[in-house]
Amino acid sequence: MMQRLLCSALLAGFAALAQAQTSTAPAMAAAPAATTSPAKHDLAKRWVAVQDPALDNLARNVVELPARQLLAAAEPVLRGKVPADKREAVAKQLQDAARKYVDETTPAVRKRAQELGQSDLQASIEEKYTEDELRQIVTFFESPTFKKMQQTQPQIDQALQRKLVTEMQPTIEGKARALQVSMTKILGVAPPPAAASAGPASGNAGKAARPAAPAASKP
C-alpha cells in the first residue's frame, strides 16, 4: 500500500499540474513578426530583468512540488510504522533527502526558466505592448498602463510555466523517482514497481506560485 501511495503521489502531481496548465494557459506567443525597434527591445529586456526573482520562484515551485507530495505521502507511514523513539531521526532523513533533491534539481530548472524569460517571455512582452507602454511600465508602474499589465501578465506567466514544466518534466521526474527510492529505503519498505503510465490525478495536487508583478523602478 505504501509503495503504491508514494508512486501515485509523484505521478498524480505531474498529471494535475500539466492538466491545470494546459486547460487554462494559451500557447506562448512566438516572436513578433513586425520589426521591433532597438528602444522597445531594450525596454522589454529591462522588464524581464526586473522579473528575475519571480522566475527563480517559479522554477523552485516546479521542482518542489513532487518533494512536497512525497513527504506528505510518507507522513502516515512515519506515524504508523516507525517506532516513536525513531520518528524524529527518520523524519530528518526524509527532509534531508528531499532537500538534496531540490538542491540538485533546481539549478537546471532555474536556468531554463531564465532562458525562457529572455526568449519567449520577452517576445510576448514586445508583441503585446507598444514602446510607449513599455516605457511607462519600466519607469513607473502607477500609470494607466498598469491595469493592462495586470490583465495580460497572468496569461504570459501561465504559458511560460506550462512550457517550463513540459520541457523539464523528464529531469524533475527522474530526480523525484530517485528521491522516492531513497525515502522507501529510509522507511524500510520495498520500492514500488515502475508505473507504466501516469493515471489521472484526483483532487488538488498543489499549485506552483505565479510570478508576481515586478516592483516599479526607474531606469
Q: Mind giving me the DSSP string for 171-212?
A: HHHHHHHHHHHHHHHHHT-PPPPPPSSPPPP-S----PPPPP
Query: Is 194 inside any structural domain?
Result: no
pLDDT(52) > 60: yes
CB 90 within 8 A of CB 187: yes
Report field, pTM of the whole predicted structure over 0.85: no
- The pLDDT of residue 192 is 65
In the structure grid, which three cell numbers stand for residue 165, read together? 514544466
Please check whether residue 213 lies inside any domain of the structure: no
Q: What residue numbers bound the domain in which 158 lies?
A: 2-23+38-187
Does 217 fall in a domain?
no
Report if residue 177 sits inside a domain: yes
Identify the pLDDT of residue 193.
Answer: 63
- pLDDT above 80 (res 87): yes
Structural domain count, the chain: 1
More confident site: 43 or 136: 43
Is pLDDT above 80 for 133?
Answer: yes
Whether pLDDT at 58 is above 50: yes
Q: Average pLDDT, stretch 80-91?
A: 93
Residue 121 near residue 48 (C-beta atoms within 8 A): yes
Asked whether residue 15 is assigned to any structural domain, the reply reads yes
Note whether residue 166 is domain-resident.
yes
pLDDT higher than 90, residue 139:
no
Residue 61: per-residue pLDDT = 93
| Percent of the chain predicted with pLDDT > 90 | 43
Q: Which of 19-28, 29-38, 53-62, 71-80 has the lowest mean pLDDT?
A: 19-28
Q: Is residue 180 part of a domain?
A: yes
- Which of 117-121, 169-173, 189-193, 213-217 has the lowest average pLDDT? 213-217
Residue pair 3/150 in contact by the 8 Å Cβ criterion:
no
Is residue 211 a part of any domain in this protein? no
